[in-house]
Amino acid sequence: MEKEYVFKDEKDLYATIGKNIRYYRKLYSLNKKELTQENLAEIANVSTSLIGNLESKKTYQGISIYNLYKISNILEVPIEKFFIDR
């Protein structure tokens, strides 16, 4: 069961968002058509490095609400799902 998460700091928040972007991008690839980091970045009009850094467990990367909104629309996932710890 999904649970809402209390973030201990900004880094924790962005790590959860990045983990969920990766999760939903992979899910999209399984259910619809393959969507690579490069494809997602191009459609969202953001850099590939932004998507890569967000999905990486080794890098601390922030994201604007607007860019997260665009990604949520592309992946067809409500934006609040990116804030849930899985």
DSSP characters over 8-23: SSHHHHHHHHHHHHHH
* Domain presence at residue 84: no
pLDDT, tens digit, 9 for 90 and up, residues 50-77: 999 999 988 889 999 999 999 999 999 9
For residue 4, pLDDT over 80 is answered with no
State the pTM of this model: 0.90
- Asked if residue 69 belongs to a domain, the reply is yes
Q: Is residue 2 part of a domain?
A: no
How high is the pLDDT of residue 52? 97
- The CATH number that applies at residue 20 is 1.10.260.40
In a domain, 47, yes or no: yes
Task: Write the pLDDT tens digit of every residue in 17-38.
Answer: 999 999 999 999 999 999 999 9
Q: Is residue 83 part of a domain?
A: no
Strands 3-4 and 84-85: antiparallel
Q: How far apart are CA 35 and CA 21, in angstroms?
A: 12
What's the CA gap between 70 and 18, in Å, rounded? 14
